[in-house]
C-alpha cells in the first residue's frame, strides 16, 4: 500500500491483521503479508506514482478520488484497476483484462500476454550503398569487438566493393 495518509496506512495494516485471523489460508496469507507486505507513506500521489513505477507491480489498484489522472502517471504496471469499485480479483476472474501479467518487476519492460504475442512478425532491413557507407564501418567495428570476424568481413567485403566501384 502506498498512501499519503499515515493514519489510513495504520488502519489498513490493522485491518489486514484482523482479516488474517479469519482466513482459511491464514498461514499462507500471513507469511505473504509478513514477507512481502508493506504500507508506505509518501508525501503525495506524484511520489506514489514514482515509487509504483520503480516497483513495477503485476497488479495495481488505484483507489483514489481520480484514478484516471493518476493512471496517466503510471508507466510500469502489468494491469491497473481504476477506482475503489474495481478490485484486482475482478481482473483475475471475470472483468476482461488478461491475467497473464509480467511478474518480478518485469512490467518495466514487458506487457501482459496479448494477441500480438501470437502473431508472427518478420523484420525487414534494406540498405542503400550510401547508407552502408555511412553506418557500415561502425557495424564492422562492433562485429570485430565481439570477435565475430565473419560478420565484420561480410560488411568489409561490401564496403571494399563500393570503394572499387567509386569513380
Which residues are the active-site residues? 58-59
Query: b/e map of 106-120 (b: 16 or more CB within 10 Å)?
Result: ebeeeebeeeeeeee
Strand-pair partners of 115: none
Residue 20 CA to residue 34 CA, distance in Å, equals 11
- Residues with Cβ within 8 Å of 106's Cβ and at least 6 positions away in sequence, in order, are 56
Query: Which residue shows C-alpha cell 491475467?
Result: 99
- Residue 11 C-alpha from the chain's centroid: 30
C-alpha cell belonging to residue 106: 518485469
Amino acid at each position: 500500500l502506498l498512501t499519503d495518509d499515515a493514519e489510513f496506512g495504520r488502519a489498513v495494516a490493522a485491518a489486514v491483521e484482523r482479516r488474517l485471523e479469519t482466513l482459511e489460508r491464514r498461514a499462507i496469507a500471513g507469511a505473504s503479508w509478513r514477507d512481502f507486505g508493506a504500507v508506505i507513506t509518501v508525501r503525495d500521489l506524484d511520489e506514489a506514482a514514482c515509487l509504483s513505477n520503480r516497483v513495477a507491480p503485476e497488479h495495481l489498484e488505484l483507489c483514489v478520488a481520480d484514478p484516471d489522472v493518476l493512471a496517466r502517471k503510471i508507466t510500469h504496471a502489468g494491469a491497473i484497476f481504476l477506482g475503489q469499485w474495481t478490485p484486482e480479483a475482478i481482473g483475475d476472474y471475470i472483468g476482461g483484462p488478461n491475467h497473464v501479467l509480467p511478474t518480478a518487476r518485469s512490467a518495466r519492460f514487458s506487457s501482459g500476454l496479448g494477441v500480438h504475442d501470437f502473431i508472427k512478425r518478420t523484420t525487414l532491413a534494406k540498405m542503400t550503398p550510401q547508407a552502408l557507407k555511412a553506418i557500415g564501418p561502425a557495424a564492422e567495428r562492433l562485429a570485430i569487438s565481439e570477435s565475430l570476424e565473419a560478420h565484420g568481413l561480410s560488411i568489409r567485403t561490401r564496403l571494399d566493393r563500393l570503394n572499387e566501384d567509386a569513380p
